[in-house]
Amino acid sequence: MAELAKNTSAEITMQAVEEKLTPPWKEAWQSFYKNKLALAGLTIVLFFIIIAIIAPWVAPYGFKEQVLTDRMQPPSSKHWFGTDDFGRDIFSRILYGARISLWVGFFSVLGSVVIGTLLGIVAGYYGRWIDAIISRIFDIMLAFPSILLAIAVVSILGPSLRNALIAIAVINVPNFGRLVRSKVLSIKQEEYIMSAKAIGMRDTRILFRHILPNSISPVIVQATLAIATAIIEAAALGFLGLGAQPPEPEWGKMLADSKNYITQAPWTLFFPGMAIMLTVLGFNLMGDGLRDVLDPKMKQ
Amino acid sequence: MSELLLEVKGLKKYFPITGGLLGRKQGEVKAVDDVSFYVKKGETLGIVGESGCGKSTTGRLLMRLIEASDGRIIFEDKEITKMSKSELRRVRRDIQMVFQDPYASLNPRHSVEQILEEPLIVHGIGSKEERKKRVKEMLEVVGLSSYHAKRYPHQFSGGQRQRIGIARALMTKPKLIIADEPVSALDVSIQAQVLNLMKDIQKEFNLTYIFIAHDLGVVRHISDRVGVMYLGRLIELADCEELYENPKHPYTKALLSAVPIPDPDLKKQTILIEGELPSPANPPSGCAFHTRCTECMDICKTTRPEEHNLNGHYVACHLYNK
């Protein structure tokens, strides 16, 4: 044991150096902070989240408040973004619309992440026939254009915002499922999984304590990017009349309602369009930044 | 003669080769082909062989990390090969494994404390405080310090990580440790430290080792008995000194003659083995080594040699037929 004591003395001097190392999350934040575009994305996303929260207090008008004498007013000091064909204040509707879009984006992605991750883990870890079945279902789902699949789901469930959310969650499941499956396939070959088995661990513990935490970072990135897509898909379903129903101020629905007035009242289209574009851009930039931070291959 | 801890009889592992559209079986790789040996309590059995000879597969078969195609593994009079999943989990408390790559065998997202505590949690040993205490004790045993407990694997060197791997294997107070190339990923200077640590621990905890390695010097240093594998078969098994001083099998002789001697004046005769290692998917008939053996006879090409017991020196070669 004497020699063991000797080589630990060298380690103690190393200790002083190591204590100064920043914790991993702080390191990640620092490299995220350095990425200006990612930071811009985060700012946009936070901005919309705040808007969604404070909408009822800052909106000058109610989202379904119609003043028919003020129809299709151009932007002015009274109506910052103008009014639509029912005389509703577009600025207020966009503020309220942030709630819907973020809500749909967040919860639909949450749903697909949870279901996709579970299916992906099962397929990747157990392999064989169960993998064959799950993977073929994913293949079939991915063979459809996603918006077509969403339309199919909504037409089964009936058009409403909640069903649009479910439809968007369903169509995104295979993306997450495949991502997790491939990650699990590589991680289960790692020696620490073999060693976990050798210790005598149960499969569930291996899956949730070892495999899942090590495969989750690409899922976080994908989820951020998927929120952007989900917002667009919700808007598309709204535009087609399959998502939010009037008078809900869903941005896609607002586009659809005003498309006939594009020449007379372009502001009715411009502002909801801008809102969609900005939110999606924000999530995309943030997702790209997160990928750079969380992908270990990009490090060092 | 001391008690047997582990006995292996006719162990086989054939990996199927599948291919084609429907994944039909097209052949098989005989990774481990009819291997039998025993391990006595408190000894170290070394297993050597070149890469691809089935050493690691044998180690994994012993723990049933992969299922054997055939054969029996008996640990303390209980047959591991016939155990149910839950029995197997319990027996894994007594058999632990140290892995080759210290960079891959520790979960990068768990702290050292979590890594070491986990075997105890899994087997429901001790209260939370007792477990934490044992983690600290074990860190000291393997030559690290208790303050290392909060660190993550990436903050350690290879040698330190292998010490953590050893500490993890010791946590449940096992009887047998299967070490699969535990030092081959380390620097030579660190190798010696880790080997000596393993020796010290063996004495302290009365452990039995199965030590798998390709480095003949390392195996000689640590083993009491040594088995030599070639193409999935155990061709020679003897006491360590006996094997190194008096090898019987032509393959072992050639292998040992290839070890460099650190003395430039010493003339030595190197036996060169010709040809390539045959594919285990299509092993030669008869003795697996006959295609490269310098002393090949007609019988070697047709009949697989029996294992001969020459006073406890086991060798599977037709040269020793009576």
- How does pLDDT run across B31-43, given as a tens digit for each residue? 888 889 989 988 9
Chain A hits for B119, CB-CB cut-off 8 Å, are 199-200
Residue of B nearest to A216 (CA): B109
Q: Are B251 and B272 in contact (CB under 8 A)?
A: no
Chain B hits for A131, CB-CB cut-off 8 Å, are none
Give SS3 for B132. Answer: helix
DSSP E strand boundaries for B20-94: 24-40, 44-48, 70-75, 78-79
> What is the reported pLDDT for B159?
86
DSSP-derived letter for residue B307 is P
Position A20 pLDDT exceeds 50: no
Query: Which among A18, A190, A197 has CB closest to B155?
Result: A18
Residue that has been written with the tokens 């998502």 in this structure: A243
How far apart CA A215 and CA A212 sit, in angstroms, is: 5
Q: Which two tokens stand for residue A280?
A: 């999606």
Q: Are B99 and A194 an interchain contact pair (Cβ–Cβ within 8 Å)? A: yes
Residue in A195, A197, A205, A294 to test binding to B, most B beta-carbons within 10 Å: A195
CA distance B88 to chain A (A): 8
Put simply, whether B120 touches A (Cβ < 8 Å) is no
Residue in B117, B122, B175, B181 to test binding to A, most A beta-carbons within 10 Å: B122
* Mean pLDDT, all residues of chain A: 85
With pLDDT > 70 as the criterion, what percentage of chain B qualifies? 97
How far apart CA A283 and CA B4 sit, in angstroms, is: 64
The answer as to whether B140 is a domain residue is: no
Q: Are B173 and B167 in contact (CB under 8 A)?
A: no
How far apart CA B56 and CA B97 sit, in angstroms, is: 11
How far apart CA B20 and CA B145 sit, in angstroms, is: 54
Q: Are A21 and B107 an interchain contact pair (Cβ–Cβ within 8 Å)? A: no
pLDDT band at A295 (very low <50, low <70, confident <90, very high): low
Mean pLDDT value of segment A32-51: 89
Q: Are B65 and A15 an interchain contact pair (Cβ–Cβ within 8 Å)? A: no
> What is the reported pLDDT for A34?
82
DSSP-derived letter for residue B155 is G
Give SS3 for B212. Answer: strand
Mean pLDDT value of segment A37-42: 90
Mean pLDDT value of segment B3-21: 84
pLDDT band at B211 (very low <50, low <70, confident <90, very high): very high
> What is the reported pLDDT for B31?
87
Q: Are B197 and A4 an interchain contact pair (Cβ–Cβ within 8 Å)? A: yes
The answer as to whether A118 is a domain residue is: yes
> What is the reported pLDDT for A42?
92
The answer as to whether B107 is a domain residue is: no
How far apart CA B42 and CA B202 sit, in angstroms, is: 8
pLDDT band at A22 (very low <50, low <70, confident <90, very high): low
B positions 288-317 inside 8 Å of A (CB): none
How far apart CA B166 and CA B159 sit, in angstroms, is: 11
> What is the reported pLDDT for B268?
65
Chain A hits for B105, CB-CB cut-off 8 Å, are 191-192, 194-195
Range of the domain at A282: 36-65+78-298
> What is the reported pLDDT for B90?
86
CA distance B110 to chain A (A): 9
Residue that has been written with the tokens 């390539």 in this structure: B276
Query: What residues have CB less than 8 Å from B238, skipping those under 6 apart?
Result: B225, B226, B248, B312, B313, B314, B315
CA distance A289 to chain B (A): 22
| Single-letter amino acid, residue B73 | I
The answer as to whether A14 is a domain residue is: no
Put simply, whether B109 touches A (Cβ < 8 Å) is yes
The answer as to whether B223 is a domain residue is: yes
The answer as to whether A24 is a domain residue is: no
* Mean pLDDT, all residues of chain B: 86
> What is the reported pLDDT for A63?
85
**Among the listed ranges A3-12, A64-73, B13-22, which one has the minimum average pLDDT value?**
A3-12
- In sequence order, the β-bridge partners of residue B209 are B44, B177
Query: What residues have CB less than 8 Å from B301, skipping those under 6 apart?
Result: B284, B285, B286, B287, B290
The answer as to whether B120 is a domain residue is: no
Q: Are B92 and A198 an interchain contact pair (Cβ–Cβ within 8 Å)? A: yes
The answer as to whether A175 is a domain residue is: yes
DSSP-derived letter for residue B300 is H
Position B188 pLDDT exceeds 80: yes
Chain B hits for A205, CB-CB cut-off 8 Å, are 122
pLDDT band at A23 (very low <50, low <70, confident <90, very high): low
The answer as to whether A8 is a domain residue is: no
B positions 164-223 inside 8 Å of A (CB): 165, 168, 172, 193, 196-197, 200
> What is the reported pLDDT for A47?
94
CA distance A105 to chain B (A): 30
With pLDDT > 70 as the criterion, what percentage of chain A qualifies? 90
Chain A hits for B101, CB-CB cut-off 8 Å, are 191
Q: What is the pLDDT of residues B85-101, one digit of tens each?
A: 888 888 888 899 998 88
Range of the domain at B76: 4-94+213-320
Backbone angles phi, psi at B310, to 5 degrees: -105, 85
Position A18 pLDDT exceeds 60: no
Measured CB to CB, residues of chain A less than 8 Å from chain B are 1, 3-5, 7-8, 11-12, 15, 18, 21, 24, 190-192, 194-202, 205, 209-210, 213-214
* Run of H or E residues at B9: strand B4-19
Position A136 pLDDT exceeds 90: yes
Q: Which two tokens stand for residue A157?
A: 């469930």
Position B309 pLDDT exceeds 80: yes
Axis-axis angle for helices B112-122, B158-170 (nearest 10): 20
Q: Are A265 and A285 in contact (CB under 8 A)?
A: no
Count of domains observed in chain B: 1
> What is the reported pLDDT for B20?
67
Q: For position B19, which CATH number holds? A: 3.40.50.300
Position A300 pLDDT exceeds 90: no
Residue in B109, B193, B200 to test binding to A, most A beta-carbons within 10 Å: B109
**Among the listed ranges A22-36, B58-72, B128-142, which one has the minimum average pLDDT value?**
A22-36
CA distance B219 to chain A (A): 22
pLDDT band at B1 (very low <50, low <70, confident <90, very high): very low
Mean pLDDT value of segment B101-118: 86
Backbone angles phi, psi at B247, to 5 degrees: -70, 145
> What is the reported pLDDT for A177?
94
Residue in B75, B105, B162, B193 to test binding to A, most A beta-carbons within 10 Å: B105
Instruction: Given the cut 0.85, state whether the ipTM is greater than it.
Output: no
Q: Are B97 and B165 in contact (CB under 8 A)?
A: no
Closest CA to A184 of A141, A226, A216, A157: A216
Q: What is the pLDDT of residues B134-187, one digit of tens each?
A: 888 889 888 888 888 888 888 888 888 888 998 998 888 899 999 988 888 888
How far apart CA B82 and CA B76 sit, in angstroms, is: 14
Position B109 pLDDT exceeds 50: yes
pLDDT band at A145 (very low <50, low <70, confident <90, very high): confident
> What is the reported pLDDT for A13?
47
How far apart CA A125 and CA A140 sit, in angstroms, is: 21
Chain B hits for A189, CB-CB cut-off 8 Å, are none
pLDDT band at A116 (very low <50, low <70, confident <90, very high): very high
Dihedral sign for Cα A193, A199, A202, A208, please: negative
The answer as to whether A23 is a domain residue is: no
How many interchain CB pairs under 8 A, A with B?
Answer: 79
pLDDT band at A118 (very low <50, low <70, confident <90, very high): very high
Q: What does chain A look like in DSSP terms, one character per residue?
A: -HHHHHHHHHHHHHHHHHHTSPPHHHHHHHHHHH-HHHHHHHHHHHHHHHHHHHHHHH-SS-TT---GGGTTPPS-SSSTT-B-TT--BHHHHHHHHHHHHHHHHHHHHHHHHHHHHHHHHHHHHH-HHHHHHHHHHHHHHHHS-HHHHHHHHHHHH-SSHHHHHHHHHHHHHHHHHHHHHHHHHHHTTSHHHHHHHHHT--HHHIIIIIIHHHH-HHHHHHHHHHHHHHHHHHHHHHHTTSSSPTTS--HHHHHHHHGGGTTT-THHHHHHHHHHHHHHHHHHHHHHHHHHHH-GGG--
> What is the reported pLDDT for A16?
45
Q: For position A124, which CATH number holds? A: 1.10.3720.10
CA distance B240 to chain A (A): 26
| Single-letter amino acid, residue B135 | V
Residue of A nearest to B107 (CA): A192
Chain B hits for A201, CB-CB cut-off 8 Å, are 89, 118, 122
Put simply, whether B105 touches A (Cβ < 8 Å) is yes
Count of domains observed in chain A: 1
- In sequence order, the β-bridge partners of residue B74 are B7, B79
pLDDT band at A96 (very low <50, low <70, confident <90, very high): very high
Write A127-133 long-range contacts (CB < 8 A, 24+). Answer: A131/A181
Give SS3 for B177. Answer: strand
